[in-house]
Amino acid sequence: MSQSLFTRFYPIAAIATTPKAVQTLQPLCQSINATLFVPESLSNSQNAQIYTGSLKEHIASIWNEYRAFVFCMATGAVVRLIASLLDDKSRDPAVIVLDQNGYFVNSLCSGHQGGADELTRLIAHQLGATPILTGASTSLDLPGIDVLGLPFGWCKGSGDWTGVSAAISRGETVQVIQEVGSMLWQDNLPKGHPFYFGFPEINESISPKARIWISATRRQFAPDAKLPKVQWHPRVLWVGIGCERGTSRKLIEDAIAQVCQRYHLAIEAIAGIATIELKADEVGLLDYCRDRNFPLKTFDAETLRQVNVPNPSSIVAQEVGTPSVAEAAAILGGLGENLSIQNPKSEIQNPKSKIQNPLIVPKQIIKQDSEPGAVTVAIALSNLEYTGRTGQLLLVGTGPGNLEQITPAAKTAMTGADAIIGYSLYLELIESLLRPGQIIESLPITQERQRAQRAIELAQWGLTVAVVSSGDCGIYGMAGLVMEELQAKGWDGITPKVEVFPGITAAISAAARVGTPLMHDFCTISLSDLLTPWEVIVKRLEAAAMGDFVTALYNPRSQTRTQQIITAQQIFLKHRNLNTPVAIVRSVYRPDEQIVLTTLKEMLEHPIDMLTTVLIGNSSTRTYADWIITPRGYYSTYVN
Ligand code: SAH
């Protein structure tokens, strides 16, 4: 199991009060790395921590220490246990309840911001249980408005979050004014969503009942306004700083706050700080960045000098070798985030993608009598928000196409991903596993390399990206392409983090439907010569036929590649009997599955296409009734 999908909920506490509940929770806790608490009466439970006294007291004592609670007991009991502890949904931990059999997983409290809905989905996949999500937005197939920007690292600003959520759940029109930040979320809304983007024309009869601002500006909303409003702040502001040696942390902090206030900018929209290399060891600046969790980008004087700025200074140039530090650094800071993250299929372009003049605050010099030093602040707007997150690439095999044939780990990976990239046919097959708010990008099968590059780009930006292939993703699948592209980009092997989730490959699933053809040594050969020279394929066919391997042929025939399967048959006929059993298995485990049992001699008399896997038996493979059996050994110990 991929523990990394659960790390954002850490630490997790799980509570069992009966032996049956312990049985259900123990393996789960181990695989997701949660602490299991049991009462003294169950002190013989393995890997569990014992609590003494009442459960209510125990929960109260650990309430603030854990980010998520997983109870395996009656929902009513849990409600009574936690009622007095609940405070505010922006701070409360996620609370999840399982029945003792592990059939159902219920997201009880803090579904959105606490992440209980997401954790519920992950745990449900892990256990093969049914998730119970009763939140209004989930029922409408919409992402929660209070978690909308989390994948992109947006910060929540002030506003009437309950009022806006209520309007959405009533199905009322909600106006969205997005000035900055990724538009990807807009591309992935269900049909009939309640959002109206931008300002209605005068002749349009639209009357929004709530408003969502997505901007770098901080807005003050009247508390009793009729129209509930909220604001999200994508982190698009790069603050360029110049300062005297020894400037205090407080002065830097005050100066930035003052400038933001003067320009009505939200501190929450700050992506990071940029300055000259010379200041890379400036204590006050380092302290400020560390406390605020801001990245600090530094540029050398030579690089800064190249930037065109409105307010160059010859004095600064004399001192540090560039006429501008704050303005130039702010502009360069923002440029670094200039990836093309827009959805390729999107009609909507980010309004800021054509930023003419990124410097929205020219340099301001700030001093305070009580603090040493002086600070120069300038602010630039970047094209793309800084997510502050470390991306992950989950390379997922989804098996032949039936949900039951996907591993729980692969399901969990898909649920946990911010974005899912794959071939459209396979994405349709697994549609029911997708959750509201996920970014889904399906590209045609011919654009595999672009798909791999896109996945890497999104992961480098900070998203958790699942790249989905049918069968196993590491067998003629996307995983290899992603790894090759990563290597070509000089990947350090660590960031973005890569995890591979195996799936049942076509050879195995096709074999299962016809018996036990792969019981002995076998190989797979793809007949596609798009990425492999035909001579290499012929050589392998010869070797497999000569070596008496049971052989699974992938990509056997397309509309244009029709000769390959004929040659393959001829090669096998040189080494194997005419009556060698052959299975032609098409769309295995999908609704349109077709299976033909035939022989090497007659195999080409049946339809074979790109959705087919052809299994050719070895010299001892035989058919029995409607089954293909390859004996375990070559000595006929069991059968005469
Ligand atoms: N990664 C996939 C293989 C992709 S190559 C896997 O591990 O299964 C594509 C080929 O796989 C197809 O041309 C076909 O030969 C085979 N294939 C994939 N899914 C199949 C299915 N459901 N039924 C039969 N063959 C399948």
Q: Residue 443 pLDDT > 80, yes or no?
A: no
Confidence of residue 306 (pLDDT cuts 50, 70, 90): very high
Distance 554 CA to ligand 1 centre (A): 6
- Dist. CA 142–CA 130, nearest whole Å: 19
Write down the pLDDT at residue 353.
47
Architecture of domain 515-629: 2-Layer Sandwich (3.30)
Using a 6 Å cutoff on CB, does residue 525 contact ligand 1? Answer: no
- pLDDT tens string 608-622: 999 999 999 999 999
Which residues are CB-contacts of 364 (< 8 A; sequence separation ≥ 6)? 255, 259, 262, 376, 377, 378
- Return the best residue to mutate from 470, 524, 587 for the ligand 1 pocket (most ligand atoms within 8 A of CB): 470
**What confidence score (pLDDT) does residue 344 get?**
44
Ligand 1: centre distance to CA 611 (Å): 6
Residue pair 235/386 in contact (Cβ under 8 Å)? The answer is yes
Instruction: Tell me the domain boundaries of the chain.
Output: 3-134, 150-233, 237-381, 392-504, 515-629
Provide the mean pLDDT of the chain: 92
Alpha carbon of 563 to ligand 1 centroid (Å)? 19
pLDDT of residue 459: 96
pLDDT at 488: 96
Question: For 129-133, what is the mean pLDDT?
Answer: 92
**pLDDT at residue 569 tops 70:** yes
C-alpha of residue 454 to centroid of ligand 1, in Å: 23
Average pLDDT over residues 205-223: 91
Supply the pTM of this predicted model.
0.86
Say whether pLDDT at 52 is over 50: yes
**Cα(431) to centroid(ligand 1), Å:** 19
Residues 392-421: tens digit of each pLDDT: 999 999 999 888 999 999 999 999 999 999
639 pLDDT exceeds 80?
A: no
Q: pLDDT confidence of 446, banded at 50, 70, 90?
A: confident
Alpha-helix runs per DSSP H in 184-300? 184-187, 249-262, 283-292
Pair of tokens at residue 64: 């603030």
Q: 275 CB under 6 A from ligand 1? A: no
pLDDT tens-digit profile of 535-556? 999 999 999 999 999 999 999 9
Percent of the chain's residues with pLDDT above 70: 95
Residue nearest to atom 6 of ligand 1 (CA): 471
Q: Please give the CATH superfamily to which domain 392-504 belongs.
A: Tetrapyrrole methylase, N-terminal domain (3.40.1010.10)
Is any atom of ligand 1 closer than 6 Å to the C-beta of 72? no
CA distance 18 to 10: 24
Which atom of ligand 1 is found nearest the CA of 610?
13
pLDDT at 204: 77
> How close is the Cα of 397 to the center of ligand 1, in Å?
11
Looking at residue 352, its pLDDT comes to 41
Residue nearest to atom 17 of ligand 1 (CA): 506
Nearest CA to ligand 1 atom 15: 554
State if residue 258 touches ligand 1 by the CB under 6 angstroms criterion.
Answer: no
DSSP-derived secondary structure letter, 202: T
Each residue of 370-388: pLDDT tens digit?
888 889 999 999 989 999 9
The DSSP letter of residue 68 is E
State the pLDDT at residue 337. Answer: 55
Cα distance between residue 628 and residue 640, in whole Å: 17
Q: How far apart are CA 532 and CA 553, in angstroms?
A: 14
The fold for domain 237-381 equals Nucleotidyltransferase; domain 5 (3.30.420)
CB atoms within 10 A of CB 623: 19
pLDDT of 444 higher than 80: no
Give the Cα separation of 171 and 193 in Å (integer): 8
CB 231 less than 6 A from any atom of ligand 1? no
The reported pLDDT for the residue numbered 343 is 45
Verify whether ligand 1 is closer than 6 Å to residue 469 (CB atom): yes
| Tokens matching residue 259 | 């400038």
CA distance 304 to 326: 9
> Is the predicted pLDDT of residue 126 greater than 90, yes or no?
no
Q: CB under 8 Å, gap of 24 or more: what pairs does 220-223 form?
A: 221/158, 221/159, 221/160
pLDDT at residue 288 in the model: 97
Separation of alpha carbons 628 and 626, rounded Å: 7
**What distance in angstroms lies between residue 325's CA and the mean position of ligand 1's atoms?**
57
Per-residue pLDDT at 313:
94
Euclidean distance between CA atoms 367 and 360, whole angstroms: 21
Top mutation candidate among 407, 482, 505, 611 for ligand 1, by most atoms within 8 Å of CB = 611
pLDDT above 90 for 29: yes
Distance CA 235, CA 351 (A): 15
Domain 3-134 classification at class level: alpha beta
3-134 and 392-504 agree in CATH topology: no
| Choice from 468, 505, 554, 608 to test ligand 1 binding pocket (greatest atom count within 8 A of CB) | 554
How many contiguous H segments (helices) and E segments (strands) does the chain have? 19, 30
| Angstrom distance (rounded) from CA 56 to CA 111 | 22
Question: Mean pLDDT over residues 272-280, rounded?
Answer: 96
pLDDT at position 348 is 39
What confidence tens digit (pLDDT) does each residue in 5-24 have?
898 899 999 999 999 999 99
Q: Where are any strands of DSSP class E within 356-459?
A: 359-366, 375-381, 392-397, 419-423, 439-443
Cα 232 from Cα 429, distance rounded (Å): 34
- pLDDT, tens digit, for every residue of 310-362? 999 999 999 999 999 999 999 999 986 545 555 444 433 444 444 568 999 99
Residue scoring higher pLDDT (429 or 624) = 624
Residue having the nearest C-alpha atom to atom 18 of ligand 1 = 506
Q: Read off the DSSP letter of residue 65.
A: T
Burial 485-494 (b: 16+ CB within 10 A, else e): bbeeeebeee
Check pocket membership of 510 for ligand 1, CB cut-off 6 A: yes
Query: Strand order of the sheet with strand 237-243?
Result: 296-299, 270-276, 237-243, 375-381, 359-366
Q: 573 Cβ partners below 8 Å, 6+ apart?
A: 600, 601
- pLDDT at residue 346, rounded to an integer: 41
Q: How many whole angstroms separate alpha carbon 414 and alpha carbon 397?
A: 10
Ligand 1 centroid – CA 556 distance (Å): 10
614 CA → ligand 1 middle, Å: 10
Q: Is the CB of 213 under 6 A from ligand 1?
A: no
- Whose CA is closest to 358, among 343, 338, 387? 338
Query: Which of the residue ranges 104-108, 353-357, 515-519, 528-532 would you say has the lowest mean pLDDT?
Result: 353-357
Q: Which residue has the higher pLDDT, 446 or 196?
A: 196
Strand partners, 233: 155
